[in-house]
Amino acid sequence: MPPLQFSLFILTVIFSIFTKPVTPASPPQPEFPCKPPRFHRHPFCNASFPAPARARSLVSLLTLREKIRLLSDNASAVPRLGIPAYEWWSESLHGIATNGPGVSFAAGPVGSATTFPQVLLMAAAFNRTLWSAVGSAIATEARAMYNVGQSGLTFWAPNINIFRDPRWGRGQETPGEDPMVASAFAVEFVEGFQGGRGGSEEEDDGLMLSACCKHFTAYDLEKWHDLTRYNFNAVVTQQDLQDTFQPPFQSCIQQGKASCLMCAYNEVNGVPACAMQDLLQKARVDWGFKGYITSDCDAVATIFEYQHFVKTREDAVADALKAGMDINCGSFLVRNTESAVEQGKVGEEDIDRALLNLFSVQLRLGIFDGDPRKGQFGRLGPKDVCKSEHRMLALEAARQGIVLLKNENKFLPFREDVVSSLAVIGPHARNISNMLGSYTGIPCRQKSLFEELQAYVQMTSHAAGCQDIPCNASDAFHEAVLAAKKADYVIVVVGLDLTQETEDLDRVSLLLPGQQMDLVSSIAATSKNPIVLVLTGGGPLDVSFAQNDPRIASILWIGYPGEAGGKALAEIIFGDVNPGGRLPVTWYTESFTKVPMNNMNMRADPSQGYPGRTYRFYTGDRVYGYGHGLSYTDFHYKFQSAPVKLTLLKSSRANPYRNRVLREAEGLASLDIAEIEESCDSLKFRVQISVTNVGDMKGSHVVMLFSRAPRLIRGTPQKQLIGFDRVHTFPNRSIETSILVDPCDHFSVVNESGRRTLVGGGHVLMLGDLEHIVSVELN
């Protein structure tokens, strides 16, 4: 070929390479079983068969070694049956998190997901509808990520342990200290997350995703002195177990229909939770649990290695499987189950039982129904992650949860036309990570508190004051003081972050870390006007110094407010939003740190100088009480209607004298709830409540109805939240709401034997400063 023709040929080839139409790459997808043409004919792939039958068919096809390799969160593939590997462990506490290996933000088109406020702040909203909506939004993003191969379908949330001790590093992850609120959150989040399905009695009822109630049970200590969560024995009375620790899990299973339960690391009364047959079978038999039980990660190894509850690894495997655990997060079962079978400590039927529970959940999720892109949720994809609706919901959750603790002389809200310059002080203010909390992912949008405040006041300056949250030096105080002096108004942002409280890390003090208190006082002493103090973090703080300092006019608690927390705070400070959050935990004084963290007793014991725990039983001093929260307006309540007497007739009871307790001098009695269950529905009533906004600003308001029972039973709570509702109000207008009261639940008390009893006599309904007595007659 002549040189010129050759050159033209080469140019033509090069041109064709670079101008050739590019075929768009097909979107990634998850690996799934039952792929045609080779594997879709297995009976377990036939979606017309009932899920239990499909699960049994699948188990029958597996060899023993294949079965054992499926007992880990990282379940192995079974190539000969076309079953790919599956990772059970994904996390979704308040958004899709990076903690679990089932989620990857780097392996596909989804690089971030909506980060909602940490659970404790969402609990402060006291809004069931919000909790359900958040669960549903997270589920949409999770299923969308699954469809492009970036997550699993089984998520280990929510954390519904009781925030028993203010030092607990993971209290931020929970709905707070009240078992009724924790129960309500569990039900709403799980129903929203699982797709609002799983509510029927049919085992094969489908699931959008699987939620997991954790950590079962009485888990609330990371590290205190020489105790860790791995070797801690939670000694719990039957009264406290049934009255405080168990109700959230029972509700999560019975009303929420959760499809997973996680057993905790700790022992309960001398037995490791994951080896406690009575505990795990109570969930399955008494509460009707239909799902799988996973250990916390390496909790089965802990039975042998830390708690020394058994003499061999094989005994740990046997105890956990025979107790009812189905899967081990970690490799302990994969490494030790075969030898446990060889030694006769575990039967193959024990493994089969576990696998049936595991496969039943996967079948309900549609994992064995073929290509997920052709399924019910196949349309979901990257466009459904970080949607504007979800980001707005994250903002609304932060707005509703933020709590105004103090507001002297109505110092807040600021007016934009009055504030010409603003100083924002504190190491938190420009660090987005301090707003997110534990078990978090990669947020959609990242704007700091400083940036959002600057959007309101252009002349906004920042000084850290402390180099970091531990604040062990005062070197940077001078710069912060100068910035405060120059500004018309000052906002100081201090508190906690994950260097102070998180998994494996409890606090030792309730005071602000390091020299933060000195920083706040220094700024308050030199600023032109009183300052606004913003507190971050989950754990309660003893800020008595600020509570009593007139130079600190306003205090706000923002918890870990999520990706939109800065905007929500700015809106509240400048009056675009009226704060309405309420504290979901008691804020104790520093003296509470003298109480041993390992003392699980909820009830006070004056003879031992023990003050009790949570608002229901605590008798000591507090900085702010449970449910405290101010507004920019004022509200008046009125009981519109409520009964004055309830009567349970003898004819309505199968055995009117069994398990009856009398105190004749006062004419009081109590009856075992189990004896009168058939009559409970007839006792229910609604309390009609009028709420009047008597101020000049609209806003939402949390109505909280408490009850106080006659003190017939030893250990009766001082008071108990029995209902709540969040209502939207307008200036100088009233709105009505109603709260359903179930006397068998709300007027009952758990006795020292752990049995719930309905107490006769005068029960006091408390609504703000109002009281109404309902007399219960047990004739």
Distance CA 210, CA 135 (A): 11
For CA atoms 657, 663, 665, 666, the dihedral sign is negative
Per the structure block, which two tokens stand in for 423? 């100083």
Distance CA 256, CA 175 (A): 15
Whether residue 576 lies in the annotated active site: no
**For residue 755, how many other CB atoms are within 10 A of its CB?**
19
- 74-75 vs 720-729, strand pairing mode: unpaired
Per the structure block, which two tokens stand in for 582? 């309420």
Q: 81-105: b or e for each residue (b if 16 or more CB lie within 10 Å)?
A: bbbeebbbbbbbbbbbbebbebbbb
Which residue in 73, 178, 243, 296 is the catalytic one? 296
Q: Which of 244, 631, 88, 159 is closest to 437 using CA atoms?
A: 159
Half-sphere exposure (CA, 13 Å, Cβ side) for 298? 7
Element at 190 (helix H, strand E) = helix 179-193
DSSP codes of every residue in 300-325: HHHHHHTS--SSSHHHHHHHHHHHT-
Is the distance from CB of 736 to CB of 640 less than 8 angstroms? yes
Q: 162-174: b or e for each residue (b if 16 or more CB lie within 10 Å)?
A: bbbbbbbbbbbbb
The β-bridge partners of 726 are: 702
DSSP codes of every residue in 424-480: EESTTTT-GGGGT-SS----S----HHHHHHTT-SSEEEE-SSSSSS----TTHHHH
For CA atoms 176, 177, 180, 186, the dihedral sign is positive
Q: Is 682 helix (H, G, I), strand (E, B) or coil?
A: helix
The β-bridge partners of 689 are: 639, 737
Is the distance from CB of 394 to CB of 386 less than 8 angstroms? no
Catalytic residues: 296
